[in-house]
Structure 1
Amino acid sequence: MTLPDYLTGPLAPVPDEVDAHDLPVTGALPPELTGRYVRNGPNPRPGEDPGHWFGGHGMLHGVRLRDGRAEWYRNRWVRTSKFTEGAPFVGETGVDRAAVSANTHVIRHSGRILALVENGFPYEVTPELETVGPCDFGGRLATAMTAHPKQDPLTGDLHFFGYGFFPPYLTYHRLSAGGELVESREIEVPGSTMMHDFAVTEHHLVWLDLPVVFDLGRGGMPYDWEDGYGARIGVTPRAGGRTRWFDIDPCYVFHVGNAWEDAHGRIVLNAARYTPGAFTSLWGRISGSPDPARQAAAAGEAVLHRWTIDPETGAVKEEPLDDRGVEFPTFNEDLLGRESRYLYTVGHDAVVKYDQRDGAARTRRTGGDTGEAVFVPAEGGTGEDEGWLLSVVTSGDSSELLVLDARDLSDVASVRLPRRVPAGFHGSWLAEE
């Protein structure tokens, strides 16, 4: 039997949970990197076929760094009710938002570490990656929670949204710095789309309402491309008010970089953009049903793209910023919502740093499948790119936690992990509190 792509090669799951201590380090880990790097991703149990790469149970991979040493590695499945009991997401009583995979991201807010997936509630875990349970913020959260919340670096508020299959299709939420859900409001959209990410500027929320639409008759992951839906960007005042929509060329975006308002009040948004053909090529492969006629469509790759929206005139300027295939844009999140110069992305076997001021790009080949490069600012640093990039790189049956100098992508250190880590999604650096 031929296994689908999402169960083989770099995506192949690992069969168990392990612990290892005193990991080998090449180079010198900066003593400032004291905390935990944790990454999330799909990992079905042995013999399971979830029907889509996105459907596997969440597995956290963690590395504990302290005082220049790599103290431990451990991996743990997130023990959701779907994992432990086989609880159905949709049952006789409706949607169970705790019956999810929690497989996409992991963040910390107000002392809680949360494993996230966009179709349900987050799951709280301990610093040792053991599952505490689902979190609905004291019963106040009545929708799903995106896997890409945005924390305002000035207020500490966490901005996020939930989308659903039925109205309200899109709801905006805000958590206070203390972790209390203090605001929820509907954002009107015409249908249920797979809205994976969004952006926050100093004064606005920026939405991507794109033509990957819920299809009740579709098996597996119930979304697919629909030409007739159209594509648009929405802009909502953070303080409240009407959402304005701006038509754009058809595309799909999983991940945005930063967004900000320029000196003329225009909104600048950078993101990894898929053409319709590139998206359907990628979607077919990770759904286990590739369409040979679509496989030549840029091999399913996204490229870095910019939209500049003028709320005064309604004009939208679209421009590609590069032609190489990249994903998972990251940046110094101390500048979230404000103009930033540097953006970090990854290709198949490389980290690419973009200077958004002059368009220059620097590439560092890694020699393996390269995970999202998480930026960690240097304590007391004065430059935007003073800090490190942390990425899990896998080559064959071995993986390492690679630490690069974010200024020039030079090697700082690497931690050899005790096992292969499958390609996954997103992670965070959780500094010692």
Structure 2
Amino acid sequence: MTADKPYLTGHYTPAVDEITATRLTVEGTLPPELTGRLIRNSHNPKPGVTPSHWFKGSGMVHGIRLREGHAEWYRNRWVRTPALDGAPYMTDHGIDLTASTAGTHVIEHAGRLLALCEANFPFELTPELDTVGAFDFDGKLRSAMTAHPKTDPVSGELHFFGSSPFPPYLIHYVADATGQITHSAEIPGATASLKHDFAITRHHVVFVEGTVTFDPDEHSGIPYGWNDDQPARIGVMPRGDEGAGKIRWFSIEPGNMLHAANAYEDAQGRIVLEGPTVDREGFQLSWNWWVGAPGRGTEPNTRSYTRRWVVDLDAGSVDEQIIDDLAVEFPTLNEEFLGAEHRYQYAVSFPDQEGFGGYGVVKYDRTTGARRVHQMGDARLPSEAVFVPAAGATREDDGYLLTVVSDLKQDASQLLVLDASGLDRIATVHLPRRVTGGIHGSWIPDSEPHN
């Protein structure tokens, strides 16, 4: 069975145990300001378990502790949710929001480390990655929570949403910098379309509904599929307590966007949104990979090209275009520019459906249109490149990109530290095992001492 499931082979072969290693070998020089933890999440079912969909694999977090030029430890831990031991999502009493894979993302907000999966409550972890338990914001979270919350770099607020294939389809939440939910509202006009990610600007919240929606006939455990009858739309909502009643929906071309790079208001007051998207063929090839069905692509994302939408609120129109022909996913940026106009963004490149292009970390200069790629080499898959500002940074790209590489030929992994300006390698941390190809992660700088 495993050979038929691409998400259990190659770079995505699950780790079979939990380990801790200390005093990791470093080549080059780690910048001393890299003092904190890089934590990544991945779908990693326990030995003997074959999930029906890549996203159904139980979450495993991988952590690397850096401090003042040293790599102090690596450790990996399963997120110990009820689902890890087989508890069902659907019960006789309805949905169990604690029965989470918790395998999509991991963030920290208000001192809490949270492992996320969009269909469930978040799960709190200790700094050493042990599981504390489900977290519902003191009972104020009344739905699932997206795996892609956004921290406003100005206010420190955490914006997130809960989506469902059943009414209410979409709820927007805001938690303040102390972690207390201060606002929630159901969003009128939303549908059962899959909503995986969203964006914020300084003055708006931007939702995206693509051509993928609830499909009761999909039996992989993730009940969604492409549907030509599902309109693709962008919803633009003013921020603030009364914003939900003022949301406006704008039609866009069919497609599906999993991850937003960023959104902002330009000098004319238009909303600019960017992110990789797939067409019908790309979605089906990718979905077939995710479920292990015939007719799949060779990578977890196929025909995924960066698209830009410009929403003119005054004219009520949207201009959109594909702005690059490189197959990419997992867009990132210097998050100090989240919600504001940015010049640089980063992504992971994948081979196209013909096998050309290879794996790499990509840097886009949105001012000049230049694209630079740090090629990883044969059979070397990088993880999402996390930006960390340099000490005393004066330019947007003064900083570092952290990416964990899965090397199949060496059956090993390294943490690469790249200069975010030129993509040159600064340092390599050798890890004690090959880290499973995963999804998202975060750099968590020290705000107080951790052991």
Using the size of structure 1 for normalisation, the TM-score is 0.97
Match of 2:362 in 1: 352
1:211 aligns with: 211
1:228 match: secondary structure = coil
Q: How far off is 1:358 after superposition?
A: 1.6
Structure 1 residue 155 displacement after superposition: 0.6
Tell which deviates more after alignment, 186-195 or 247-256.
186-195
1:205 Cα deviation after fit = 0.6
Compared with structure 1, are the counterparts of its residues 190 and 171 closer, same or farther at alpha carbon in structure 2 (3 Å cutoff)? closer
Are 2:387 and 1:375 equivalent residues in the alignment?
yes
Identify the match of residue 268 of structure 2 among 252, 264, 267: 264
Give secondary structure in 2 for the equivalent of 1:278. Answer: helix
Cα pair 2:286 2:300 within 8 Å, conserved: no
C-alpha distance after superposition, 1:276-313 (max 9, x if no partner): 11111111111111326xx5999713111100010000
**Offset at 1:246?**
0.8
Q: Partner residue of 1:427?
A: 441
For 1:278, the equivalent position in structure 2 comes to 282
> Does the C-alpha gap of structure 1 residues 158 and 299 become closer, same or farther in structure 2, counting only changes over 3 Å?
closer
Q: Does residue 47 of structure 2 align to residue 46 of structure 1?
A: yes
Show the counterpart of 1:122. Answer: 122
Q: Distance in 1 between matches of 2:119 and 2:294?
A: 24
* CA-CA distance at 1:217 after TM superposition: 2.8
**Which stretches of structure 1, 4 residues or longer, exceed 2 Å deviation after superposition?**
188-191, 295-299
TM alignment of 1:242-391, pairs within 5 A: 242-291=246-295, 295=297, 300-348=302-350, 349-367=359-377, 368-391=380-403
What CA distance in whole angstroms lies between the structure 1 residues aligned with 2:178 and 2:9?
42
Percent identity of equivalent pairs: 51
AA aligned to 1:383 is: R
Counterparts of residues 35-74 of structure 1 (less than 5 Å): 35-74=36-75
Of the structure 1 ranges 34-43 and 208-217, higher mean CA displacement relative to structure 2 is found in 208-217
Per the alignment, residue 32 of structure 1 pairs with: 33
What residue identity is the alignment partner of 1:402? L
**Contact 1:170–1:189 at 8 Å: present in 2 too?**
no
> Partners in 1 of 2:230 and 2:385 — Cα distance?
33
In structure 2, what is the Cα distance between the partners aligned to 1:249 and 1:417?
43
Paired letter, 1:320 = I
CA apart distance, 1:324: 0.7
1:281 touches 1:290 (CA, 8 Å); kept in 2?
A: no
Cα shift at 1:18: 0.8
CA deviation map 1:55-106 (0-9, x unaligned): 100000000001111111000000011114x221110111110101000011
- Give the aligned partner of residue 106 of structure 1: 106
Q: CA RMSD in A?
A: 1.4
Give the equivalent residue in structure 1 for 2:354: none
Shift of 1:191: 2.8
SS at match of 1:358: coil
Residues 289, 299 of structure 2: 8 Å contact kept: no
Change (3 A) 1:174 1:285: same
Q: 2: CA distance between counterparts of 1:299 and 1:287?
A: 13
SS of structure 2 residue aligned to 1:300:
coil
Contact in 2 for aligned 1:277/1:297 (Cα 8 Å) = no
Q: Given the two structures, how large is their TM-score scaled by the length of structure 2? A: 0.93
| Per-residue deviation, 1:11 | 1.2
The residue correspondences of 1:400-415 to structure 2 (distance < 5 A) are: 400-415=414-429
Confirm or deny: 8 A CA contact 2:232 2:251 kept in the other structure: yes
| Contact 1:25/1:414, CA 8 A, preserved across alignment | yes
Structure 1 match to 2:353: none
State the partner residue of 1:12: 13
Q: Which amino acid aligns with 1:205?
A: V
Partner of 1:87: 87
Matched, 1:179 2:179: yes
SS of 1:227 mapped into structure 2: coil
Query: 1:102-251 counterparts in 2 under 5 A?
Result: 102-220=102-220, 221-239=222-240, 240=243, 241-251=245-255
> What is the distance in 2 between the residues matched to 1:87 and 1:135?
18
Say whether the 8 Å CA contact 2:301–2:329 is kept in structure 1.
Answer: no
Structure 1 residue 383 displacement after superposition: 0.6
- Counterpart CA distance in 1 for 2:75 and 2:301 is 34
Supply the distance in 2 between the matched residues of 1:204 and 1:18 (Cα, whole angstroms).
Answer: 43
* Contact map agreement 2:170 2:190 (CA 8 A) in 1: no
Contact 2:39 2:61 in 1 (8 A): yes
**Matched AA of 2:422:** D
User: Residues of 2 paired with 1:228 and 1:370: CA distance?
Assistant: 36
Provide the secondary structure at the position in 1 that maps to 2:421. coil
> What is the rounded CA distance, in whole Å, between the counterparts of 1:187 and 1:83 in structure 2?
32
CA contact 1:278–1:298 (8 Å) conserved in 2: no
Q: Distance in 2 between matches of 1:297 and 1:314?
A: 37
Q: Deviations over 1:99-132 (max 9, x none)?
A: 0100001100000000001001000001100000
Q: Matched residues in 2 for 1:166 and 1:304: separation?
A: 30
Residues 225 and 20 of structure 1: is their aligned pair in 2 closer, same or farther, counting only changes over 3 Å?
Answer: same
Please report how far the alpha carbon of residue 255 of structure 1 lies from its aligned counterpart in structure 2 after TM superposition: 0.6
CA distance in 1, matches of 2:349, 2:190: 34
